[in-house]
Structure 1
Amino acid sequence: MITFEESLKQMQLDNFNGAVSMFEQALQTVVDSQDIVKQKYAAAAFDVSVNSLKSWVKQGCPEIRLESGMVLYSKKAIREWLLQYQK
Structure 2
Amino acid sequence: MSKVERSLLDWQKENVENCFTMIKQAIEDAREEHDIVKQKYCAEYFDISVNTLKDWVTHGCPEIRLDSGMVLYSKRAIHEWLLSFQQ
TM-score (norm 1): 0.63
Alignment RMSD (CA, Å): 1.6
Whole-Å separation in 2 of the counterparts to 1:50 and 1:66: 18
Structure 1 runs of 4+ aligned residues shifted over 2 Å read: 29-33
Unmatched tracts of structure 2, length 5 or more: 1-26
Secondary structure at the counterpart of residue 55 of structure 1? helix
Whole-Å separation in 1 of the counterparts to 2:71 and 2:83: 22
Q: Please name the residue that 1:63 is paired with.
A: 63
Matches within 5 A, 1:32-43: 32-33=31-32, 34-43=34-43
Deviations 1:11-61 (A, max 9, x none): xxxxxxxxxxxxxxxxxx697441000000000111100000000000000
Amino acid at match of 1:44: E
Unmatched tracts of structure 1, length 5 or more: 1-28
Whole-Å separation in 1 of the counterparts to 2:39 and 2:30: 13
Whole-Å separation in 2 of the counterparts to 1:84 and 1:78: 10
